Amino acid sequence: MRRKKLLLVILMGMLCVGACAKGNVPAGNMGTVSQAPIATEAPDVTETPEPTVTPEPTSTPEPTATPEPTPLPEDTTAPELVLLGENSIKVVARREFTDPGFVATDDRDGDLTASVQVEGEVDVNWCGSYTLTYTVADAAGNTVTAERVVEVAQPETVYPEGKVIYLTFDDGPGKYTEDILGLLDKYGIKATFFVCGTRNTALYKKIHEAGHSIGAHCLTHDYDVVYENDEAYFADLNAILDLIYENTGVRTTMIRFPGGSSNKVSMICPGIMTRITEKVTNMGFQYYDWNVSAEDSVTKVTEEILNSMIVDTPKYKYPIVLQHPENRKFSFDAVEDFIVWGLENGYTFLSLTPESPTVHHRIKN
């Protein structure tokens, strides 16, 4: 028993020391041990709210001054203007001319091509020299100018090689035109038809589609009308040119004067042939006389007509033969024999072109 009491006293002492250490038992009561009451509910603990912190007012910063841009030096440099193509161009008269173009640039303003101004015109219907002036300026007023010279001229003559014959027929179409086209096709050769406007104009198309050349002779073939004065001649010429175009779609530049350039029937208007031969040349037309004649306006004998052509053709390097077979049976009958003679003697029959060698008679009026 004494041992149990001793253990109890020691245990109670230990409990008192623990309570004092935790602050639950006052120092003067260390000898008394009492049981702490057991709490059945959690104590009401009210949390103290955190104080609201008012932010210090933010001051607006002073704006930063934008530095002034460094001024560019004064623009004293003109744009660059480049002409495309050549600065000197040759154009064949009565053919379309298209400006090759240009490019303009500036070191500050960039592409100025659309601002280029072009002064001057090119008249392809009149031979001569034309100057086109190109000008462009930049925003600073610097200006640059360039020039192009356009020469409108007759085409360069192309001389064929070998033995050739240019067989030409005047005053058609007529009764024998289609027969002549058949002969030309039969022998695989080409010819040139200088047509009138009082004939069967529907045959213009057949002539063209067969691959032959077609040239303007006259509308009426009335010398008194055609050569009444300069204006009358050009009215007649323009009328036949329009007829050819309407029927073939071809704007021919090849012409033959009624009676040839050396005719005397035009004497009703003194000096007209001198004036109009010069003018048609300046206008870009090519006129063709002849150096071999079938003489079918002089004789009606077929053998004489054929002989005239055979005798005179070898005299010329580029013989241009005149014949009127489309409305004259005696002349038509000589066509095939002459073709056969030419082929057997090594000739090539060619149609005239604006580039072909031509023949001009001596003007007599």
Q: Is residue 17 part of a domain?
A: no
User: Whole-model pTM?
Assistant: 0.78
| Residue that terminates a domain, selected from 123, 153, 183 | 153
Q: Is residue 306 part of a domain?
A: yes
82 Cβ contact list (under 8 Å, min separation 6) = 102, 103, 104, 146
17 Cβ contact list (under 8 Å, min separation 6) = 30
Do 86 and 229 sit in the same domain of this protein? no
**pLDDT the model gives residue 49:** 55
Do 225 and 121 sit in the same domain of this protein? no
- Domain containing residue 135: CATH number: 2.60.40.10
Do 142 and 208 sit in the same domain of this protein? no
Structural domain for 120, as ranges: 80-153
What one-letter code names the amino acid at 294?
Answer: A
Do 239 and 299 sit in the same domain of this protein? yes
User: Residue 279: CA atoms inside 13 Å, Cβ hemisphere, count?
Assistant: 12
Do 236 and 140 sit in the same domain of this protein? no
Q: Is residue 6 part of a domain?
A: no
**pLDDT the model gives residue 174:** 95
Q: Is residue 245 part of a domain?
A: yes
Backbone φ and ψ for 194, nearest 5 degrees, come out as -95, 105
Q: Is residue 69 part of a domain?
A: no
**pLDDT the model gives residue 122:** 98
Q: Is residue 158 part of a domain?
A: no
Question: For the purposes of burial, counting CB atoms within 10 Å of the CB of 261, is it exposed (0-12), middle (13-18) or buried (19 or more)?
Answer: buried
**pLDDT the model gives residue 45:** 45
| Residue that terminates a domain, selected from 98, 122, 153 | 153
Decide the pairing of beta strands 128-137 and 143-153. Answer: antiparallel
- Per DSSP, which regions of 84-226 are E strands? 88-92, 102-106, 110-111, 117-119, 128-137, 143-153, 164-172, 192-196, 213-218
Q: What is the pLDDT along the chain (365 residues), one digit of tens a residue?
A: 445 454 544 445 554 444 444 444 444 443 333 444 444 444 444 455 555 555 565 666 666 667 777 777 898 999 999 999 999 999 999 999 999 999 999 999 999 999 999 999 999 999 999 999 999 999 999 999 999 999 999 999 999 999 999 999 999 999 999 999 999 999 999 999 999 997 789 899 999 999 999 999 999 999 999 999 999 999 999 999 999 999 999 999 999 999 999 999 999 999 999 999 999 999 999 999 999 999 999 999 999 999 999 999 999 999 999 999 999 999 999 999 999 999 999 999 999 999 999 999 999 99
- Domain containing residue 170: CATH number: 3.20.20.370
**pLDDT the model gives residue 42:** 44
**pLDDT the model gives residue 12:** 56
| Residue that terminates a domain, selected from 134, 153, 172 | 153
Q: Is residue 364 part of a domain?
A: no
